[in-house]
Chain A
Amino acid sequence: MAAPAIETSGLDVGYPGRRSAVTVISGLHLTVEAGTFLSILGPSGCGKSTFLRVVADLLAPLAGTIRVMGETPSAVRSGRGVGFVFQDSTLLPWRTARENVRLPIQVGRRSLSRMIDDRADELLELVGLSALSERLPHQLSGGQRQRLAIARALLGEPRLLLMDEPFGALDEITRDRLNDELLNLWRRTGTTVLFVTHSIAEAVYLGQRVIVLAAHPGRIVADHDLRPLKGPDNSCSREDPAIVAAMARMRSALGAAS
């Protein structure tokens, strides 16, 4: 049995302040099996993005322990184990679409980046942007930019994909389409996904499991396993009564917590 993708105990997450640290989430106990698509749902300020930053080793935990695939976050990051997709696509405006996707093989330790196959063209194909590979980011739509950011995060086949409200700025139609594309990518790659969102519908549609965070203090107020409600490949219909009921349960969990 492989090590869990994420294992935390007594984890305090927040920002080190000048006098005293600002704790956003305290005493987090969470275990996520490898290969899971986990949705992390919560209102602004509940610390869901901060938690992702601790997993990605962008921020040190204030207290407690965290293991990512059995290792420390820093070991996983320096071994290129994580891909990160930001809310704003964070594409470099002076690079073409293809060169943006290829960034991961151009930086970092040579010994590591050289081992990564240049699968840029394949990934561009996968996210449907082959024809636009020579475009600059400002010549692409918001949805295309996020697709590109996902392709870049997937270059190097990370074992863990962290997504911080990646579709938050998109219109609903584009968002729904990208949700389906993301599920397809996840089925192909089998990577663990931690998907942060404040959309209940999105969290339920995508996640095999949904944890609901409340703010002040940040804590888990609900933890739902949705696998029994969905198909074996984590597919479901947005109109399925069981799915609609799950959304209602989460809405009330969020309401009761605030």
Chain B
Amino acid sequence: MNQGALSPFAQTALPILGAGSLILAWQFLLPLAGVPAYIVPTPTAIAGVFSRNGSLLLSNLWPTAIEAFSGFVLGNLAAVLLAVVFVHSRTLQAAYFPVVLFFNTIPVLALAPVVILIFGLGMLPKIVIAAVICFFPTLINMIRGLESASPSEHELFRVLSATRWEIFWRLRLPRALPMLFASLRIASATAVIGAIVGEWIGSDKGLGALIIQATFNYQSDRLYAAIVLSSLLSIGFFMTVVAAERWSVRYR
């Protein structure tokens, strides 16, 4: 059995080949198998939508991107701040953490209509839904990250008579960064999901609205184009988070 490491060339070429072969099969084999175009349009038909209706797609991408991004920032910022409060006050953590846990058991989809009721039909409710969906995983990871310094690391800072402030900035926060980024990677995808779900329930613009409209009008090539664009948006966020992580967590 030869299970040696792949050459660098193979490591970049094989994923491209893999994806390429599947797209080719999709293009040529699915129509041969008799799958109608209104259920699964071919890749070229989807690419056609991008060239024909590029401005329509773009005008619907921006609202979703802004909502997802704002929700991502807001939700994660709130989670980080609450985590900081919780690790510095056992009392507050004991009192409010169970409440937060309970809220997390409510499915975001069930919560979305309520958010729309409260905040109306503009961008704000979508931002809130995206924020809510990002909030919990980051809160949990950030609490664990801030508590992840070892006992001897805390003793080291105590021997040096470090203040709480210094312990936070020079020990707890750097220790928490890898775990924070782990949840930010997940949040980069879920924020987009949150924005799209919000648009489903009440909106006339955005990728979510486009998806709903295309579905009801049997414009499946447009539907697929919107799906591809949502996925590209998530990938864009994800890559940004990964780049930020590379820049700030340089060790290991």
- Best-buried of B150, B152, B159 by chain A (most CB within 10 Å): B159
- Chain B residues near A78 (CB-CB < 8 A): 161
Q: List 22 A–B pairs whose Cβ atoms lie within 8 Å, in order of A's numbering.
A: A53-B155, A56-B155, A58-B159, A80-B161, A83-B159, A84-B156, A88-B150, A90-B152, A92-B170, A92-B171, A92-B174, A94-B251, A106-B170, A107-B160, A107-B166, A108-B160, A108-B162, A108-B166, A112-B161, A136-B251, A137-B251, A138-B251
Closest 6 CB pairs of A and B: A107-B162, A108-B161, A86-B152, A107-B166, A84-B159, A93-B251
Inter-chain contact A77/B170, CB cutoff 8 Å: no
**Contacting pair B159 A90 (CB below 8 A):** no
For A114, list chain B residues within 8 Å (CB). Answer: none
Decide: A138 and B252 in contact? CB cutoff 8 A. yes
Q: Mark A54-80, 1 if CB is under 8 A from B, else 0.
A: 001110000000000000000001101
Contact string, A176-216, partner B, CB cutoff 8 A, digits 1/0?
Answer: 00000000000000000000000000000000000000000
Shortest Cβ gap from A58 to chain B (Å): 5
> What are the residues of chain A within 8 A of B156 when measuring CB–CB?
84, 86, 90, 103
A123 to B195, CA, bound (A): 55
Q: Does B250 contact A (CB under 8 A)?
A: yes
Count of chain B residues with a beta carbon within 8 Å of a chain A beta carbon = 20
Chain A residues 93-149 with CB under 8 Å of chain B are 93-94, 103-104, 106-109, 112, 136-138
Please tell me if A34 contacts chain B, counting CB pairs below 8 Å.
no
Residues of B near A92 (CB, < 8 A) are 153, 170-171, 174
Which residue of B has the minimal Cβ distance to A156? B160
Give a binary string over B137-159; 1 marks a CB under 8 Å from any A CB, 0 the rest.
00000000000001011011111
In angstroms, Cα B174 to Cα A82, docked, is 25
A90 to B155, CA, bound (A): 10
Q: A94-B174, A94-B250, A138-B251 are in contact. Are A58 and B155 (CB under 8 A)?
A: yes
- Residues in chain B near residue A107, CB distance under 8 A: 157, 160-163, 166, 170
A92 CA / B167 CA spacing, docked (Å): 12
Q: Could you tell me the distance in whole angstroms from the C-beta of A136 to the nearest C-beta in chain B?
A: 5
How many angstroms between the C-alpha atoms of A50 and B158 in the bound complex?
15
Specify the main secondary structure of chain A where it touches its partner. loop
Contacts of A136 on B, CB cut-off 8 Å? 250-251
- Chain B at the A interface: mostly helix, strand, loop or mixed? helix
Complex contact B162–A77 (CB within 8 A): no
A57 to B162, CA, bound (A): 13
Residue of B nearest to A164 (CB): B152
In Å, the complex CA distance between A78 and B250 comes to 33
Q: How far is the CB of A94 from chain B (nearest CB, A)?
A: 5
Task: State whether the Cβ of B228 lies closer than 8 Å to any Cβ in chain A.
Answer: no
Residues in B whose Cβ lies below 8 Å from that of A86: 152, 155-156
Given A108-B166, A137-B251, 17 more pairs with CB closer than 8 A: A58-B155, A58-B158, A58-B159, A77-B159, A78-B161, A80-B161, A84-B156, A88-B150, A90-B155, A90-B156, A93-B251, A103-B160, A107-B157, A107-B160, A107-B161, A107-B170, A136-B251
Query: Inside 8 A of A58's CB, which chain B residues have their CB?
Result: 155, 158-159
Contact A84 B155, beta carbon cutoff 8 Å: yes
Using Cβ atoms and an 8 Å threshold, which residues of chain A touch B150?
88, 90
Q: Measured between alpha carbons, how far is A84 from B163 in the docked complex, in Å? A: 18
The minimal Cβ–Cβ distance linking B179 to chain A, given in whole angstroms, is 14
Q: B159: which of A56, A88, A94, A106 is its contact (CB, 8 Å)?
A: A56
B56 on the interface (CB 8 Å rule)? no
Interface residues of A in 19-72 (CB under 8 A from B): 53, 56-58
Does chain A have a CB within 8 A of B24?
A: no
The CA of A15 and the CA of B163, in the complex, are separated in Å by: 24
Asked if B249 lies at the interface with its beta carbon under 8 angstroms from chain A, I say: yes
CA A78 to CA B163, docked complex, whole Å: 11
Contact of B252 among A53, A93, A112 (CB under 8 A): A93
Complex Cα distance A90/B249, Å? 18
CA distance A136 to B251 in the complex (A): 7
Contacts of A84 in B (CB 8 A): 155-156, 159
